[in-house]
Amino acid sequence: MIGRFPIVDISPVVNFGEEYVGVKAIPHELIEVSATIVREGHDALHAEVILFNPAGKEVSRSPMKELHQGTDRFIGEVRPTSIGHWAYAIEAFDNQEKTRNRDAKRISATSEKFPIYVEPERALVGAWYEFFPRSEGAIKNKDGSITSGTFKSAIASLQRVADMNFDVLYIPPIHPIGVAFRKGKNNSLEALPTDPGVPWGIGGAAGGHDAVNPELGTLQDFDAFVAAAKKLKIDVALDLALQTSPDHPWVKSNPEWFTTRPDGAIAYAENPPKKYQDIYPINFDNDYAGILKEVKRVVDFWIARGITIFRVDNPHTKPVRFWQELIGLVNAEHPEIVFLAEAFTRPAMMHALGKAGFQQSYTYFTWRTSKNELMEYGREISKATSAFFRPNFWVNTPDILPFHLQSGNPAIFAQRAVLASTMAPSWGMYSGYELYEHLPFKEGGEEYRDSEKYEIKVRDWAGATKAGLSLAPFVAKLNEIRRKHPALLRLRNLEFHHSENDQVIAYSKREGSDLILIVVNLDPIRAQETTVHWNMELLGLPASQFAARDELYGETYTWSAQTFVRLDPTRPVGRVAHIAHVKI
């Protein structure tokens, strides 16, 4: 039943199944609220958006303005200030200042309350780096064999991560790796005795999801590794992969958790045409309650050891209901915990996982390369889906070597890093990217040759830096700029501006008085020039000229509503972008 004045088409509202779930936010993040509000006749009306804190107490009322006269579409803002379950409602009433009968009694109508889930800042903001601990500090011996890195040796690599100004370190599974059907180099079915196995083939004689691979060290070594990261202000994100090797303790203790073939054998994982004989998927139709209890126990185990972020492997291959229940249980006890969905799958499933509770998700950015694709996707993630889907833009992963990186051209690596780190408040990079690693396993494929999933990598970080063959200083500068400018750490403020060249993309981000203008040359081979037409009204700038300081190179330009730019990636010090700060 509608109220005295119909308040309809309210946004943002997240409906999941038969219930409203929370609009995603972090403390002090601005949320734009809008609604269509109508009344009979010609009298004016007034509207306010009301914010309620987790205790249900009204804490603010903000006026709503009609977006365009005669549209009956009103818009307002709220800013929740702390972690917890907040809510908002809209109230409409007679505008006595504009109606003829100023003495009339105020007539009100109030919408129902809609939830806002305010989560920790890390749920939205983060610069992520991924490395395999077994490769950090690994040594290649004279006979060609490799001595694995450990948690102890990987501690030294944390400084490299900190020097690039990353604040989240994601490490693949650290658990014991099964021996049965272990894969060899480049996913070969025959593993040599020296092959370390795939970290996602979890479980062996040394334990399962609550144990660490003895080749990496002990639980105490892991604790020391996490503590060392925290000293450098780096959060460690742990992989949560709900699957097992044939050697996992669960296979014997709970065989009902797996699917059995007609011949009695447990079914291994398949993603046609790929087959994963070394991995058993979990069957959630058997003993659902038992599986939920055990996974909750595992998550609690690692939370007790200082983990606050879980990167969840292939969540789209498990029931969405499971994640809604698990994340709900965990966050009820530990609201600071963040779950990232590694879900490269159909949009509907990715969105469902976000509504079910995942704080972040991997995205399609990895494959969006043209100007039109980037603009379309940017508008989608910043406007259409931002109430329930938070993106994390990864430039590469151990599984994905995008075609556009396979040339090895340093300019394309720099260009993609700029786009990822400035379009989204969270972005990620897998180690080796800064060394321009680019060799594919086969032509027409997007997998790395000699993939680190199957072998230990020994990289010469110091040699690459000394030879000037590392993107690390550029990446460090990008992350430094992000830390300096809050506008880059928000999602809903992404706005695109017209440029006359399809090889040049221009966009802006503003948070309060912090305004950043970004221009990127999408051509990694040739210089491109164009005129950018900045929407001055949208930016809140006067129509006259303004000073723009390039935060990448420290130069100040005089720009205007029509700005000519030229970006040449081929110069001795190639330039693929401007990241300009404008004082307001």
Q: Which of 29, 167, 247, 342 is catalytic?
A: 342
The sign of the torsion formed by the CA atoms of 202, 204, 206, 209 equals positive
In the structure encoding, which two tokens stand for residue 158, read together?
A: 């944390």
End-to-end Cα separation, the chain, in angstroms = 46
3-state secondary structure 358-417: CCEEECCHHHCCCHHHHHHHHHHHHHHCCCCCCEEEECCECCECCHHHCCCCHHHHHHHH
For residue 239, indicate whether it is catalytic: no
Calculate the CA 409 to chain-centre distance. Answer: 26
Assign 3-state DSSP to the chain and report helix, strand, coil percentages, each to 5.
25, 30, 45
Q: Which of 94, 294, 313, 437 is catalytic?
A: 313
In the structure encoding, which two tokens stand for residue 183, read together?
A: 């894969």
* Helix or strand (DSSP H, E) at 465: helix 461-466
* Cα gap 6→13, rounded to integer Å: 17
Contacts of 292 (CB under 8 A, 6+ apart): 322, 325, 326
For residue 550, indicate whether it is catalytic: no
* Cα gap 257→281, rounded to integer Å: 9
* Cα gap 124→360, rounded to integer Å: 7
* Cα gap 128→67, rounded to integer Å: 38
Look up tokens 């704080």; give the residue: 359
Catalytic positions, please? 313, 342
